[in-house]
Amino acid sequence: MKRITILLFLGAFSLNAFSQDDDLQFKLDSIIKEADLLYSYEKAIWTATDILMTDSKLKNDYGGYVVSHSNDTIFTTLIDKSQKQRIAKYFFIKSDLSLPFDSEIGLSPLTNSEQELLDIKIKMISQLSDKRYEVRIPHDFSPNFVLFKEKEEFKLYILMGTSDYGIIPFGNDYLFWANSEGKIKNWKKFHSRMIPAQSKGPNGEKVVSVVHSHLKTTPYITATDICTFRLYGGLCDMEEFMVWCTATGKYYKYSLKTNKIEIIEP
């Protein structure tokens, strides 16, 4: 009887270990999926605004943007300064965000969905001055607002951007959840401060990989970490980075080449 009990216990332990591994892999896969969408939105609007800025007339009337998607297509809508009309719309496929496959140029009314995204974006950003959110924009960095609609609710990410060469602007990133009216219901700050990564060492040597750590309140590598690295890592000639998570006691390594997260035991 004792031997059977031990075997049963070992079997239960083994099943539990597999379950934990499956749960962790599911979590990491969901992080990659969210990072892919974040990156698609940001990269598409980077490309769209770069194209728009080559047109002097459109450039002078540019006043903002909204982004949406359907399946593998990303729609970037560029809005005039009055925030009432569309001045251009560019269409991208997720697999190629370097060039739109189609475009519509010229003044036209916003669609109902575009107007809704713009209204919600404005409402959510207007609430960020509330001191409880502790939103701060450090000197030399600029905020990028990424809005997703999920059924009847909305998510607004804030990522940091920089025009300084050789810097990956990790940190100072947020996520806000709002209801269908744009009222913020919940929020999370992933990092307590900016943790910019440098592509050059103190003596000018090339940096090929960087690592930063997360507090227990952020137990995994984040979609914002990965999106930021995908936007700036290639510009800094880096292909991977790692995060040390104190909550799980593990390193998580992300590779640009594979777009996957590898778990590294210390």
Sheet of 62-70: strand order equals: 62-70, 73-80, 85-93, 102-109
pLDDT band at 1 (very low <50, low <70, confident <90, very high): very low
- Angle 146-118-51 from CA coordinates, rounded to 5°: 65
Average of per-residue pLDDT across 245-264: 95
Q: What is the pTM of this model?
A: 0.90
How high is the pLDDT of residue 17?
44
115 CA to centre of own chain: 23
**Structure confidence by residue, pLDDT tens digits, 34-61:** 999 999 999 999 999 999 999 988 999 9
CA 236/CA 168 separation, integer angstroms: 8
Average of per-residue pLDDT across 185-196: 95
Dump the DSSP string for 176-235: EEE-TT--EEEEEES-SSB-PEESB-TTSPBP-EEEEEE-TTS-S--HHHHHHHHHHTGG
CA 78/CA 75 separation, integer angstroms: 10
149 CA to centre of own chain: 14
pLDDT band at 18 (very low <50, low <70, confident <90, very high): very low
Q: What is the mean pLDDT of the chain?
A: 92
Helix (H) or strand (E) holding 120: helix 112-126
Average of per-residue pLDDT across 56-71: 94
Pairing of strands 209-214, 240-245: parallel
3-state secondary structure 55-101: CHHHHHCEEEEEEEEECCEEEEEEEECCCCEEEEEEEEECCECCCCC
